Chain A
Amino acid sequence: MIFLLLPAIVLASGLPGEYYDGPSMLIQGMVDKGVALETIYLILILPVIVTVIAFARQIIGLTALGVYTPSMIAISFLVTGVEYGLILFLIAIIVGSLGRSIARKIRLSYLPRMAMVLSLVSFVIFGVFWFSAYYDLFLDQLMIFPILVMILITEKFISVQVEQGNKRASALVLETLVLSVACFFLVNWSIVRTFILDYPLVVLLTLVINFIIGKWTGLRLFEFYRFRKVIKHVELAEKK
């Protein structure tokens, strides 16, 4: 039932505001009251990002560090720009794992140790700030929100490192990064942007998509590759 109703709701949300080809009436109203368009867009795009991540996990097989981490990174990239965001991210991860390997040598309890590592990350990012201020680089992108996100992710990365080993953690980070960058480009695409702002309730469709993805029991794309030798071997059994 709800699936039939959805398209109707979505189309209704597209009713134009004051200007015929502007954002939908719904959004126009909010903007007129003083809500920033950018904030509205970020809230609306979040369901799209998490759906992309769910798709990447269930259908493609990219594991990444959960749902929350890649979506946070993608949104931070939106704020900082992708180049600066990547630099920050790499600095945080590298300093984080270096700090961890040093901190492991000194015997400390988990939380103080993690706190030290994260402080170290903060100091280094402070150094980056100083550097950018001195050379007038990226000044307009120096915002606290994305930096906090990076630091949070460092903790997540380190705990994966402890639990599952260096190699697995690095692979996960790489997958997360690829996914975040992909999400960033999708979200930053002007066609997507206009479409979402014109038809804001389109995001409800993500519920349907996620329902379908959640019921999918087929092999993930990467699993076809992972089990290629087994698949080849099934052939032999069938020849009989």
Chain B
Amino acid sequence: MLSWLKKSKQILGMNARNLSFVRPGNSKKKVALADNKIRTKKLLEKHGLPVSKLICAIKQRRDFYNFDWNGLPSSFVLKPNRGLGGEGIVVTFGKKKNNKWVLPNDKEASLADIRYHVSNILEGDYSKTSAPDIAFFEERIKIHPAFKLYSYKGIPDIRVIVYNRVPIMAMLRLPTKHSKGKANLHQGGICVGIDVSSGTTTYAIQHNHLIEYLPDIKLKLRGIKIPNWDEILELAIKATIACGLNYVGVDIAIDREKGPMILELNAHPGLSIQLANLAPLKDRLLRVRGLKIRTAKKGIKVAKDLFGGEIEDEVEGLTGKKILGVVNDIKIKNKAGEWIPVQAKLDTGAGITAIDEEFARQLGFAEAIDYYLGFNIKRVLTKEEVDDLSQRKVWQDLEKHKDIVAVAKIYSSHGISYRMEIPLLIELAATEINLNSSVIIREHLKYPIIIGRRDLKKFLIDPTK
């Protein structure tokens, strides 16, 4: 119980967020700026940061009557200037032949519908205290192909929490059928935590519950690689420098053609990001408090060093095993004693490591291979043929060559092969491993070496890496 309380101290709650982080770092004037989407947009543009283009703002009734409604493009986003939590936003995807716009939920909107919505925004339907508001149209961001499968008729966005110019935590928000194409959490969207150092997704939540797959289509939410990740982090930091806020949530979407663009800034970013990342915010915030960070590059570096790969570290800490991806850059020592860099595939489906004949020759095993070829063993053998070879104790003769340390019988769907094994010293993930590798003759592998289970006992393989 006592340790539980201690752990809970690392979580950022509403009180601490407001009193310890929002209030000291964010002056009232600058918070008001972040709450004003048009002013934020203009400020960011002035600083040369990418934002979606403003088509037109309707500030008052007079603008409403003078506005050239027929000049509206076939696709746009309509927003209230001081809207809260994504309410009051209308996205159109195109115009139909009947002159109506297509909405995300398979509905359509006529010009009268759009005008009515603008009118409601002006009246203050969606502003904090029902105070009159400004409505504006902006260009719709086009979805990046990396997210196409994952989002239901809307644009996913990425929220990065930046404190003291360091990106602290990030999440990807996916619109769902339930959220009517909007990515906001309380409207039923999905939040997926992102590992700050690698830009890969970790845990996912919907309606405050952990989920593993995208509902309906059973797509795994873990391990999505966010495109342009470093650029996103840099944009987030630059946006906070531009607006002068010290604790901000920056919302960024990725356009198919223009790349990452800043959607809006939030001076009171929500706390659920901790759930999506299953990681506490306060602990991270305290670690960067007081650091002097001057440039965005430095901020990214600090974040990656401090918060990167926490999940992997945890698994590694628990199992004592390193996590590796499927394809790794390794080094192999050739017979002359030089380290040769090469790409290796880790294959947990194979028992024994295998090396390509050509590559083995380059390493200096040509003589041994020629000796093996002298035995005229067929590449693929039947059971009887292998039994015959075993009975004649051919392996004893093969092993007479000093480079052939063993002979392996490899069973595959084509049949059985009788391969020679050579000793190798490799360096994989900064660990030197002595192993015996079978030599595959005349097959021209895509990767010159495939490392099998026998030599991977010290590692865990993460296929998403």
Which A residues have a C-beta under 8 Å from some C-beta of B?
A: 58, 61, 107, 109-111, 159, 162-165, 167-168, 215-220, 223-224, 226-227, 229-231, 233-240
Q: Is the CB of B11 within 8 A of A159?
A: no
Out of B11, B124, B210, B283, name the residue touching A223 (CB < 8 Å): B11
Out of A109, A110, A219, name the residue touching B11 (CB < 8 Å): A219
Known: A219-B11, A230-B278. A110 touches B85 (CB 8 A): no
Known: A162-B126, A230-B275, A237-B310. A219 touches B13 (CB 8 A): yes
Known: A230-B279, A235-B3. 11 other contacts (CB 8 A): A110-B123, A163-B127, A220-B14, A224-B8, A227-B11, A227-B274, A227-B275, A227-B280, A229-B275, A230-B274, A230-B275
Task: Select from chain B the residue with minimum beta-carbon distance to A63.
Answer: B14
Cβ contacts under 8 Å, A215 to chain B:
19
Please measure, in the bound complex, the distance between the C-alpha atom of A237 and the C-alpha atom of B12, giving whole angstroms.
17
Cβ contacts under 8 Å, A220 to chain B:
13-15
Q: Is the CB of A233 within 8 A of B15?
A: no
B349 within 8 Å of A by Cβ? Answer: no
Known: A110-B125, A218-B15. A234 touches B318 (CB 8 A): no
Known: A227-B274, A234-B7. A163 touches B15 (CB 8 A): no
Which B residues have a C-beta under 8 Å from some C-beta of A?
A: 3-4, 7-8, 10-11, 13-16, 19-20, 84-85, 87, 112, 116, 119-120, 123-128, 130, 186-187, 208, 210, 271, 274-275, 278-280, 283, 310, 313-314, 317-318
Known: A107-B116, A162-B125, A231-B7. A217 touches B16 (CB 8 A): yes
Q: Is the CB of A217 within 8 A of B11?
A: no
Known: A229-B210, A234-B280, A240-B317. A164 touches B11 (CB 8 A): no
Task: Select from chain B the residue with minimum beta-carbon distance to A240.
Answer: B317
Q: Is the CB of A168 within 8 A of B7?
A: no
Please measure, in the bound complex, the distance between the C-alpha atom of A105 and the C-alpha atom of B87, giving whole angstroms.
18
Task: Select from chain B the residue with minimum beta-carbon distance to A168.
Answer: B186
Can you give 26 contacting A-B residue pairs, CB < 8 Å? A109-B120, A110-B124, A110-B130, A162-B87, A162-B126, A163-B84, A163-B87, A165-B87, A165-B186, A168-B186, A217-B20, A219-B11, A219-B15, A227-B8, A227-B271, A227-B275, A227-B280, A229-B278, A230-B11, A230-B280, A231-B7, A233-B279, A234-B280, A236-B318, A239-B318, A240-B317
Q: Is the CB of A239 within 8 A of B15?
A: no
Please measure, in the bound complex, the distance between the C-alpha atom of A164 and the C-alpha atom of B128, giving whole angstroms.
10
Q: Is the CB of B116 within 8 A of A159?
A: no
Cβ contacts under 8 Å, B208 to chain A:
226
Q: Is the CB of B8 within 8 A of A231?
A: yes
Cβ contacts under 8 Å, B120 to chain A:
109-110
Closest chain B CB from A202 CB (angstroms): 26
Task: Select from chain A the residue with minimum beta-carbon distance to B83.
Answer: A163
Known: A163-B84, A229-B210. A109 touches B275 (CB 8 A): no
Closest chain B CB from A30 CB (angstroms): 37
Closest chain B CB from A225 CB (angstroms): 10
Cβ contacts under 8 Å, B128 to chain A:
163
Please measure, in the bound complex, the distance between the C-alpha atom of A87 and the C-alpha atom of B314, giving whole angstroms.
55
Please measure, in the bound complex, the distance between the C-alpha atom of A167 and the C-alpha atom of B207, giving whole angstroms.
12
Q: Is the CB of B13 within 8 A of A165?
A: no
Out of B4, B127, B310, B317, name the residue touching A231 (CB < 8 Å): B4
Cβ contacts under 8 Å, B14 to chain A:
61, 220, 223
Cβ contacts under 8 Å, A111 to chain B:
123
